Chain A
Amino acid sequence: NAGVTQTPKFRILKIGQSMTLQCAQDMNHNYMYWYRQDPGMGLKLIYYSVGAGITDKGEVPNGYNVSRSTTEDFPLRLELAAPSQTSVYFCASSLLGLNTGELFFGEGSRLTVL
């Protein structure tokens, strides 16, 4: 049981490039989330999904896109990377959302945009 798996763990992008951060969970969780973590700033919600085919914006969605074609996968797409997107990105999942009391996080993807 791997839990939440994120790839890649590290990536360097040039300004204007695009890429996709992959997230997969094997716990059959309905809810999935993408957060970004900047030093001293806590975690901020980018997008979330309550089930396959359903996504919604969080606090900081600009510059990102998501899709949820299956229960297991929730990729995050960065279009036209900017230095402000340098951050550590965490994917998380939950069985029934926040009412269950726990988000399960992956180990993060560290992205640098130069």
Chain B
Amino acid sequence: QQQVKQSPQSLIVQKGGISIINCAYENTAFDYFPWYQQFPGKGPALLIAIRPDVSEKKEGRFTISFNKSAKQFSLHIMDSQPGDSATYFCAASRTQGGSEKLVFGKGTKLTVNP
């Protein structure tokens, strides 16, 4: 059972445009929602994360929007650049209760054309 559903699978955006990647989760006990960025041949790296007590978090050109009632969260990349071309993974976890199981979405391959 896939607990975090991510869409789209791939995304092509022009330089300067907005990239939007969406994720939906099922487990209402999840309380930590990170996004990871992965370049080809490299391991994933944390990009930005949010907890459900806020509806939005912004770091530079990257923003997470969180909708607790809909059990959805999304990543917005403003002014997308060719250097943003990578695979993006959303994830979710229940950090209380000693769980160390971070559940990942299937990933979105973003291509930003110059």
Contact B106–A105 (Cβ < 8 Å): no
Chain A residues within 8 Å of B107, by CB: 40, 42
A19 within 8 Å of B (CB atoms): no
Contact B104–A101 (Cβ < 8 Å): no
* Tally of contact residues, A, Cβ under 8 A: 26
Tell me the minimal C-beta distance from A93 to chain B in angstroms: 11
Q: How far is the CA of A97 from the CA of B41 in the complex (A)?
A: 25
- Interface residues on chain B, size class: 20 to 34
Chain A residues within 8 Å of B89, by CB: 42-43
Contact B100–A101 (Cβ < 8 Å): no
Tell me the interface secondary structure of chain B in the complex.
loop
Q: How far is the CA of A97 from the CA of B45 in the complex (A)?
A: 15
Chain A residues within 8 Å of B100, by CB: 31, 33, 48, 50, 56, 97-98
B62 within 8 Å of A (CB atoms): no
Chain A residues within 8 Å of B9, by CB: 40
Contact A43–B46 (Cβ < 8 Å): no
Q: How far is the CA of A85 from the CA of B89 in the complex (A)?
A: 22
Which residue numbers of A lie inside 8 Å of B, CB to CB? Answer: 4, 31, 33, 40-45, 48, 50, 56, 58-59, 90, 92, 97-99, 101-103, 105-108
**Sample of 9 more A-B contacts, CB < 8 Å, known A41-B106, A43-B89, A97-B100:** A43-B44, A58-B101, A99-B95, A101-B46, A102-B34, A103-B46, A107-B41, A108-B42, A108-B43
